[in-house]
């Protein structure tokens, strides 16, 4: 088994033993959310920037990207660094519309 620098002090098996049930619950919660979306009365949010970001984040989550947390954080974050003239509500949405979703 490979050993990495800057690793967790726990082994993979120890991490699974300590955290599997908690994260299993989170995965089931996400599955339930997606099932509810599929069974919604009206399918009207395929272009919603939050759902688009959520699906992109799930793709990264299921990848072998060694920096999954950073990549997902950037997908769900406002990329702007300039100060706004006044407070807006974008941060309250948990995702930020990209140029491609803003034009839809």
36 & 51 share domain: no
25 & 36 share domain: yes
35 & 49 share domain: no
Residue 104: the pLDDT is 42
70 & 94 share domain: yes
CA gyration radius, the chain: 18
Residue 6 located in a structural domain? no
Residue 31 located in a structural domain? yes
Least confident segment among 24-28, 54-58, 79-83: 79-83
Helices 49-61, 68-75: crossing angle, 10 deg rounding = 170
75 & 28 share domain: no
* Mean pLDDT computed over 69-95: 80
Q: Are 74 and 95 in contact (CB under 8 A)?
A: no
Print the domain residue range for 38.
Answer: 11-42
27 & 58 share domain: no
Query: How many distinct structural domains can be found in the chain?
Result: 2
């Amino acid at each position: 088994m490979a050993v990495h620098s800057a690793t967790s002090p726990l082994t993979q098996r120890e991490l699974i033993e300590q955290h599997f049930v908690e994260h299993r619950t989170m995965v089931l919660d996400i599955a339930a959310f997606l099932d509810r979306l599929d069974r919604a009365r009206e399918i009207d949010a395929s272009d919603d920037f939050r759902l688009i970001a959520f699906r992109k984040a799930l793709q990264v989550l299921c990848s072998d990207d060694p920096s999954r947390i950073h990549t997902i954080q950037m997908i769900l974050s406002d990329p702007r660094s300039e100060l706004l003239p006044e407070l807006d509500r974008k941060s309250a949405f948990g995702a930020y519309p990209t140029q491609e979703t803003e034009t839809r």
